[in-house]
Structure 1
C-alpha cells in the first residue's frame, strides 16, 4: 500500500477514535451521551438555579413510573437525567421540577411548587433538552438543543 494512503488511514482512525472518546467521556459505561438534559434559569435573578430536584417519569398505561431523580448543579444544569446506559424509547414522559423546595431553601414563596412538563418522544435514540425559565409566579419551557 502506498505510504500516503497508509498515513491517511492512520489519521482517519485516530480521528474516529478521538470522536468516540469525546462522545462517551464522563460515562463510565462507555455509552453515548445521555438522552435527556435540563437547564433551569431564574428569571428574577438572571442566574442559573442550583439545587432544583428534577424527576423524570415514563407513562406506562394509566400510571407514571419514576425513572430517576437528580439535582441541578451550580450552572443550573443536569446533563444526564435519563437512567445511565439506556436509550430513550418512544412514548410520553413527564419531567417534574420540584420548585417549591428550591424556593423554600431561598426563603421565598412560589405559586408553582411543582412544574410537571409532559413531553412526547416520537423517535428512539434522539437527545431531548428541556430548559426551564423560572420565576416565583410563572415559567416558560421549550425543546432546546
Structure 2
C-alpha cells in the first residue's frame, strides 16, 4: 500500500506543470506574489508587478511579471540568480488593472518594501486589494 501511495503522489506531482502549477514554491524560485480582489473575493489576473532591490539610496530593477489567472506571479525573482539579503520593493501596478476592470482606485500603484534576511528559502508577498484600501503580509 505504501508503494502504491508513493506512485500516486509521484504521478500527481508530475502532472502539476501540465495543469499550470509548479511543484513546490515555483520550482525553487525564492519569491512569489499573489493578488486577490477583496471586492469579489476573486484572484486578480493581469496585474503588472515590478521587483527592485535597494542599493544605497537608489532602487535597481531586477525583474517584472504579470499575475496569471490565479492572480499569482509564482517566480518573480530572476531565474538562476541567488537571493541576496537586503531590502526589496515589489510594486503592484493597480491603476491599470482597475481601469481594465472599468473601475477606479485611490492607489494607482502599491509599493511593498520588505527585508530579506536569508532565514527562509522562499518569500511570498500577498496583496489583498480593494479600490480604496489594501492589505499585505508575509506569506509562505
TM-score in terms of structure 2 length? 0.80
Q: Which ranges in structure 1 are unaligned for 5 or more consecutive residues?
A: 1-17
Structure 1 segment 1-145 matched on structure 2, within 5 A: 33-123=28-118, 126-145=121-140
Match of 2:7 in 1: none
Aligned residues, how many?
Answer: 122
Aligned equivalents of 1:59, 1:124: Cα separation in 2: 19
Aligned equivalents of 1:34, 1:123: Cα separation in 2: 14
Q: Which ranges in structure 2 are unaligned for 5 or more consecutive residues?
A: 1-9
TM-score in terms of structure 1 length? 0.77
Aligned equivalents of 2:84, 2:63: Cα separation in 1: 15
Could you list the runs of 4 or more consecutive aligned residues of structure 1 that deviate by over 2 angstroms after TM superposition?
Answer: none
Counterpart contact for 1:87–1:124, Cα < 8 Å: no
Aligned equivalents of 1:87, 1:75: Cα separation in 2: 26
Match of 2:4 in 1: none
CA RMSD after TM alignment? 2.2
Pick the structure with greater CA Rg: 1
